[in-house]
């Protein structure tokens, strides 16, 4: 049971929503669509569901062309960001509704509803209506209703975005287990890289309607094939340092230069962009060969255990994430260090040349 | 959203198509037929071409009726829309008084139109009507059967009484959709009542108001029953609006040709004005939507 | 900017409150320093929005007083309190341009035109809105609209405090960073009294100098982000702040020895006279749990998740679940491991509240 998208594009009113999407989603897998708002996550999910037709390309389900198939004829379930439930029905009736539409016998309906309710911890709430529930409980009801159908494809469009962050954490813990038990293909859209990492499975990073990379989540995180993918998968934003390598020296803006050491020494001469994650921009010189640069402190944000330092360097705004409390004065100059072994190196076109070794 | 093509849908529409054909399309075609023919009775018809249309568009009687109609619709809109907005603003937004007000507002809309006409016809009479009699007692000389201005006054007041509720209910719905945060922010900004109305309530009621204006314009332009029951078109010609004139011609004088021509012209005028309104509405709507979609980053 | 003092403040939405459960806001005495950046942090329904609305005057408290710089403003209407409020979703006047939006509060107060123009330009420069001054406010992005809402508050000189009610809710996650740092920079530059309500710990901790954690209508702890992290005064604070939250382990404690998860542990301090029958718990944040040691408490490894810049290990100490944060390069092999708790960050809680022991 696999869903394949073959070169799908969707253009509406001259606007390109999706471009050249080719993906294969395996059975019983959790696939995360990661990207900022308007990157095309919702458009892609609607395409998979059959709510929209691709302008070009085909959709194949187990090798069979289903591009023209209506959404009612496909075995799909969807969960939305705004918890959508039938407001006048009880939780029990809400969960049972797709089964009633399918015409299943009463005993079977009862069994499946109770199973779903147990999985999502809704048993004490079965007689309430959605208006009497909290946000988290309403969303669980919506998820239960999506799961109870036993659909082959379950789509979740940023389902936790409207919940308090602690509730989000709890649900995020439970969801992978629930998904694994169900056995369908799950597609989960989110704008938060941390959420993708916590969910695991496979991730497809989207940017401006294109899928920039698709693979196991941790791999996409550690080996982004382009600068764009690395930036999509970074929160706080990735720091980018444009460099030129000439012989044994690295030249950066503002007349800075360093000897080319470590993995950078092996590069051919030319222009590169160094991608540094905020937690790899150090305040203390790390061991090994480090590059030092001076940046001006714009503001520091302390979050109890960590400090976010916003620095201005060569006309760019960088973010450094340091462990512990560092309250640097605004406008002061801070010495920060990069460890070349921990940086991503992209060529001038944005393609990955070197990634930090594991 | 793309809908896949399904030919079965045509069968579902068929009963409606047949119904509309019998009740509207075929009679309309009959009217068109009459409008280009002349008869001297005995069911003998001669082709008259556009003679009736020509006569009509040059007839003073038609121009006068048309002018009267526009004046009437204009007065109605000028009175009912601001009054409707004012009442909607004054209505409560919370509590048990809300359903009470809504029901009271709906009552005038539920009365059959000729009953409305009859009510006001009696109401305005100098001998047995409450209004007429009171005015007489106060020394005001009010007689709608003989004085043209009085006739206009009573018809306008009747229409305002009858239909302002529609504007009120539409505007009230529009007002209810404004989130509280806007009012709170306006308070914090130190805005007075008028500023709140002008900058928050009126812009947010924009769409509903357009619907209200369109509906009231069309209905007042077609008005027949109420003024006919009250004044019969009189005194003289003073309250003979377009539809009353049309009926006089068609049924009173049995001049089918001119009447048919007039009803077609009438139909085209309403069609044209409605199309203008509709285009303005949807263009304004599309412009807003397009910019909002392009600029806002929230799905 | 003003100092805001709350005296004996409490609020119940119903007219005749019978007991503590009827109060949306339980009795509160508190002073907000002038020019401070405060965050009200708590889950939905904890009373933080009620408290904000009481300070702004949109809600009249059923008990107690609100004082601005010593003056009682409890009965004073919102517009007289001179506060600025930024709401959850952007409130802008659709028919006006950006410049007219910013000028609106000043026009209502009858200021001369030249002064209005000068202040509008100044405020727009502060918020990076200068380029859009002539545009219609309606067509802008959500974060620009929120800046306009904020600008309408800043443009008035006489503002006592700026109140934020979950202002980043509708902002795109990529832009939340930018707006947050801009707010912080504004605060550092101009020293406004800012009170920021949120349920997001990152927003609260990164924005505020002092965070007030609320739970079920009560202020549970107030302190700097560091204090809340290092020494949570209540298990709720420990749970709510930190991702993942603090580990709370039921234990039996005698003096300086604790029985937890079927094992014995030496505590860094002595605890005497603990009330009998009370709920005794040890609290330790996952960041202070060291795993993969040569010796220590025995724990089972259930799962290790890679979050990118660190790893979260789900462990079990006997029957008790426990989280540990591991550095990004660390590997934890096998099903069993040995753990230790950083003594400086191991706390004891009685019925949810922290108890200080005596040094040894």
Predicted local confidence at residue A118, as pLDDT? 86
Predicted local confidence at residue B41, as pLDDT? 66
Predicted local confidence at residue C247, as pLDDT? 92
Contact B190 C152 (CB under 8 A): no
Q: At what angle do helices B256-295 and B51-58 cross, to 10 degrees?
A: 80
Chains A and B form CB pairs within 8 A to the count of 13
Q: What percent of chain B has pLDDT over 90?
A: 22
Rounded to a whole number, what is the distance in Å from the CA of A116 to chain C's nearest CA?
25
Among the residue ranges A161-165, B49-53, B185-189, B292-296, the one predicted with the least confidence is B292-296
Q: CA–CA separation, A260 vs C7, rounded Å?
A: 64
Interval B216-239: pLDDT, tens: 988 898 888 888 898 888 788 888
Predicted local confidence at residue B297, as pLDDT? 34
Q: What average pLDDT is seen over chain C?
A: 86
Tell me which residue has tokens 């918020």.
C127
Structure tokens at C78: 């919102």
Q: Per-residue pLDDT for B295 more than 60?
A: no
pTM for this prediction: 0.78
Cα torsion C136, C138, C139, C141 to 10°: value is 120
| Distances A197 to A30, A31, A32, A200, A225 between C-alpha atoms, Å | 12, 11, 9, 5, 17
Q: What is the mean pLDDT of residues C265-288?
A: 87
Helix (H) or strand (E) holding B137: helix B130-137
| Distances A150 to A134, A142, A146, B8, B262 between C-alpha atoms, Å | 25, 14, 8, 30, 65
Q: Per-residue pLDDT for B284 more than 70?
A: no
Q: CA–CA separation, B132 vs C4, rounded Å?
A: 65
Please state the three-class secondary structure of chain C as a single string: CCCEEEEEEEEECCCCCCCHHHEEEEEEEEEECCCCEEEEECCCCCCHHHHHHHHHCCCCCCEEEEEECCEECCCCCHHHHCEEEECCCCCCCCCCEHHHHHHHHHHHCCCCHHHHHHHHHHHHHHCCCHHHCCCEHHHCCHHHHHHHHHHHHHCCCCCCEEEEECCCCCCCHHHHHHHHHHHHHHHHHHCCCEEEEECCHHHHHHHCCEEEEEECCEEEEEECHHHHHHCCCEHHHHHHCCCCCCEEEECEEEEEEEEECCEEEEEEEEECCCCCCCCEEEEECHHHEECCCCCCEEEEEEEEEECCCEEEEEEEECCEEEEEEEECCCCCCCCEEEEEECHHHCEEEECCEEECCECC
Q: Per-residue pLDDT for C229 more than 50?
A: yes
Residues in chain B: 299
Nearest to B297 among C109, C141, C149 (CB): C141
Q: Per-residue pLDDT for B258 more than 90?
A: no
Q: Per-residue pLDDT for C219 more than 60?
A: yes
DSSP state of A340: G
Confidence of residue B49 (pLDDT cuts 50, 70, 90): confident
- For residue A330, the chain C residues in CB contact (below 8 A) are 185, 188
Predicted local confidence at residue A63, as pLDDT? 83
Residues 245-264 of A with CB under 8 A from C: none
CA C105, chain centre distance (Å): 29
Predicted local confidence at residue B5, as pLDDT? 65
Q: Which residue has the higher pLDDT, C313 or C22?
A: C313
Predicted local confidence at residue B285, as pLDDT? 54
Q: Per-residue pLDDT for C329 more than 50?
A: yes
Interval C139-190: pLDDT, tens: 888 888 888 988 888 888 778 888 998 888 878 777 788 888 888 888 888 8
Summarize chain A as % helix, strand, coil (round to 5).
30, 35, 35
Query: Which sign does the torsion angle of CA C44, C47, C50, C54 carry?
Result: negative
Predicted local confidence at residue B2, as pLDDT? 54
Q: CA–CA separation, B249 vs B233, rounded Å?
A: 13
Q: Which residue has the higher pLDDT, C326 or C308?
A: C326
**B6 close contact with A: CB closer than 8 A:** no
Confidence of residue B296 (pLDDT cuts 50, 70, 90): very low
- A233 burial class (0-12, 13-18, 19+ CB within 10 angstroms)? buried
Q: Which residues pair with C266 in a beta bridge?
A: C257
- For residue C244, the chain A residues in CB contact (below 8 A) are 169
> Helix, strand or coil for residue A70?
coil
Contact C172 A36 (CB under 8 A): yes
Q: What percent of chain C has pLDDT over 70?
A: 100
Q: CA–CA separation, C341 vs C346, rounded Å?
A: 7
Confidence of residue B287 (pLDDT cuts 50, 70, 90): low
CA A95-A100-A103 angle, to 5 degrees, is 145
Q: What average pLDDT is seen over chain B?
A: 84
Predicted local confidence at residue B103, as pLDDT? 94
pLDDT digits (tens), chain A, 358 positions: 788 888 899 888 888 889 988 999 988 889 999 998 888 899 999 988 888 888 889 888 888 888 878 777 788 888 888 888 888 889 999 999 888 888 889 999 999 899 888 888 888 888 888 888 887 888 889 988 888 888 889 999 998 887 888 888 888 888 888 888 888 899 999 988 888 988 888 999 998 889 999 999 988 998 899 988 998 888 788 888 888 888 888 888 777 788 887 777 788 888 888 888 888 888 888 877 788 888 888 888 888 778 888 898 888 888 898 888 888 888 888 888 888 888 888 888 888 888 887 6
Q: CA–CA separation, A154 vs A184, rounded Å?
A: 7
- Tally the C-alpha atoms within 13 A of residue C173's C-alpha that lie toward its C-beta: 23
Chains A and C form CB pairs within 8 A to the count of 88
Q: Which residues pair with C111 in a beta bridge?
A: none
Predicted local confidence at residue A33, as pLDDT? 94
Q: What is the mean pLDDT of residues C16-30?
A: 78
Contact B291 C58 (CB under 8 A): no
Task: Please confirm whether the linkage preceding C213 is cis (ω < 30° from 0).
Answer: no
Confidence of residue B116 (pLDDT cuts 50, 70, 90): very high
Confidence of residue B299 (pLDDT cuts 50, 70, 90): very low
Predicted local confidence at residue B4, as pLDDT? 58
**A49 close contact with C: CB closer than 8 A:** no
Rounded to a whole number, what is the distance in Å from the CA of A68 to chain C's nearest CA?
34
Q: Which residue of C has its CA nearest to A166?
A: C240
């Amino acid at each position: 049971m696999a869903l394949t998208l073959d070169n799908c594009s969707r253009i509406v009113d001259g606007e390109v929503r999706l471009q050249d999407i080719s993906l294969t989603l395996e059975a019983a897998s959790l696939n995360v669509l990661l990207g900022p708002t308007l990157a095309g996550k919702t458009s892609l999910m609607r395409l998979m569901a059959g709510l929209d037709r691709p302008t070009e390309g085909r959709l194949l389900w187990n090798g069979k062309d289903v591009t023209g198939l209506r959404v009612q004829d496909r075995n799909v379930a969807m969960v939305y960001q705004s918890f959508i439930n039938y407001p006048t029905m009880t939780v029990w009736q809400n969960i049972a509704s797709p089964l009633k539409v399918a015409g299943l016998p009463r005993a079977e309906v009862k069994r499946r509803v109770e199973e779903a309710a147990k999985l999502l911890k809704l048993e004490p709430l079965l007689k309430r209506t959605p208006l009497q529930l909290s946000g988290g409980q309403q969303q669980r009801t919506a998820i239960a209703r999506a799961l109870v159908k036993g659909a082959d494809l379950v789509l979740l469009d940023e389902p936790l975005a409207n919940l308090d962050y602690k509730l989000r954490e709890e649900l995020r813990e439970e969801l992978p287990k629930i998904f694994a038990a169900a056995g369908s293909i799950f597609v989960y859209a989110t704008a938060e890289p941390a959420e993708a990492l916590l969910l695991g499975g496979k991730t497809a990073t989207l940017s401006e309607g294109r899928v920039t990379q698709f693979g196991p989540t941790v791999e996409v995180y550690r080996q982004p094939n382009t600068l764009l993918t690395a930036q999509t998968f970074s929160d706080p934003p990735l720091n980018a340092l444009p460099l030129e390598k000439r012989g044994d020296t690295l030249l950066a803006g503002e007349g800075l230069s360093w000897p080319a050491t470590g993995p950078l020494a092996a590069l051919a001469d030319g222009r590169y962009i160094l991608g540094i994650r905020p937690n790899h921009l150090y305040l203390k010189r790390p061991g090994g060969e480090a590059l030092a640069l001076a940046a001006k402190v714009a503001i520091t944000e302390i979050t109890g255990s960590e400090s976010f330092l916003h620095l201005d360097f060569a006309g760019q705004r960088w973010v450094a994430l340091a462990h512990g409390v560092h309250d640097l004065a605004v406008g002061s100059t801070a010495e920060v260090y990069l460890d070349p072994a921990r940086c991503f190196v992209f060529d001038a076109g944005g393609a990955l040349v070197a990634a930090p070794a594991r | 959203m793309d809908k896949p093509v399904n030919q079965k849908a045509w069968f579902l529409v068929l009963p409606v198509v047949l119904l509309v054909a019998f009740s509207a399309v075929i009679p309309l075609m009959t009217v068109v037929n009459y409008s280009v023919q002349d008869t001297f009775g005995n069911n003998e018809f001669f082709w008259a071409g556009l003679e009736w249309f020509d006569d009509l568009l040059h007839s003073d009687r038609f121009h006068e009726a048309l002018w009267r109609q526009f004046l009437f619709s204009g007065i109605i809109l000028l009175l009912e829309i601001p009054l409707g907005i004012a009442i909607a603003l004054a209505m409560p937004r919370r509590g048990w008084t809300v359903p009470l007000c809504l029901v009271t507002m709906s009552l005038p809309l539920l009365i059959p139109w000729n009953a409305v006409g009859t009510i006001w016809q009696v109401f305005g009479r100098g001998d047995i009507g409450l209004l007429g009699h009171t005015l007489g007692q106060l020394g005001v000389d009010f007689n709608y059967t003989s004085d043209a201005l009085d006739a206009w006054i009573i018809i306008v007041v009747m229409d305002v009484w009858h239909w302002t509720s529609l504007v009120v209910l539409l505007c009230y719905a529009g007002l209810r959709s404004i989130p509280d945060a806007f009012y709170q922010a306006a308070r914090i900004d130190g805005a007075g009542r008028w500023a709140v109305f002008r900058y928050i309530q009126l812009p947010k009621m924009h769409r509903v108001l357009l619907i209200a204006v369109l509906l009231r314009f069309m209905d007042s332009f077609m008005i027949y029953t109420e003024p006919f029951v009250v004044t019969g078109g009189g005194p003289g010609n003073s309250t003979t609006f377009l539809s009353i004139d049309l009926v006089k011609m068609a049924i009173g004088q049995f001049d089918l040709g001119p009447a048919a021509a007039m009803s077609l012209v009438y139909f085209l005028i309403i069609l044209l004005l409605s199309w203008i309104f509709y285009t303005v509405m949807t263009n304004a709507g599309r412009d807003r939507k397009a910019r909002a979609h392009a600029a806002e980053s929230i799905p | 900017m003003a100092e805001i003092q709350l005296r004996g403040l409490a609020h119940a939405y119903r007219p005749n409150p019978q007991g503590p459960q009827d109060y949306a806001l339980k009795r509160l005495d508190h002073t907000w320093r002038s020019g401070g950046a405060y965050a009200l942090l708590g889950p939905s329904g904890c009373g933080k929005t009620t408290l904000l609305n009481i300070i702004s005057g949109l809600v009249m408290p059923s008990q107690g007083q609100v004082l601005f710089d010593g003056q009682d403003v409890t009965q004073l209407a919102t517009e007289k309190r001179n506060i600025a409020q930024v709401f959850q979703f952007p409130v802008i006047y659709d028919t006006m341009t950006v410049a007219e939006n910013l000028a609106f509060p000043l026009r209502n107060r009858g200021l001369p035109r030249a002064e209005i123009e000068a202040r509008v330009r100044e405020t727009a420069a502060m918020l990076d809105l200068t380029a859009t001054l002539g545009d219609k406010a309606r067509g802008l992005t959500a974060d620009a609209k929120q800046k306009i809402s904020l600008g309408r508050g800043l443009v008035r000189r006489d503002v006592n405090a700026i109140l934020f009610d979950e202002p980043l809710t509708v902002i795109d996650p990529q832009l939340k960073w930018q707006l947050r740092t801009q707010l912080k920079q504004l605060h550092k530059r101009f020293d406004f009294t800012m009170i920021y309500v949120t349920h997001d710990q990152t927003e609260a901790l990164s924005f505020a100098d002092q965070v007030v954690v609320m739970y079920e209508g009560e202020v549970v702890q107030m302190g700097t982000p560091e204090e809340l992290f290092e020494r949570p005064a209540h298990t709720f604070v420990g749970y709510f702040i930190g991702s993942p939250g603090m580990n709370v382990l039921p234990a039996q404690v005698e003096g300086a020895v604790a029985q937890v998860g079927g094992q014995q542990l030496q505590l860094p301090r002595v605890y005497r006279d603990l009330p009998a029958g009370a709920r005794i718990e040890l609290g330790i944040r996952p960041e202070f749990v060291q795993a993969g040691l040569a010796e220590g408490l025995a724990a089972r490894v259930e799962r290790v998740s890679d979050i990118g810049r660190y790893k979260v290990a789900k462990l079990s100490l006997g029957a008790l679940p426990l989280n540990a944060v591991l550095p990004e390069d660390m590997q934890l092999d096998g099903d069993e491991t040995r753990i230790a708790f950083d003594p400086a960050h191991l706390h004891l809680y009685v019925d949810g509240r922290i108890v200080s022991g005596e040094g040894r």
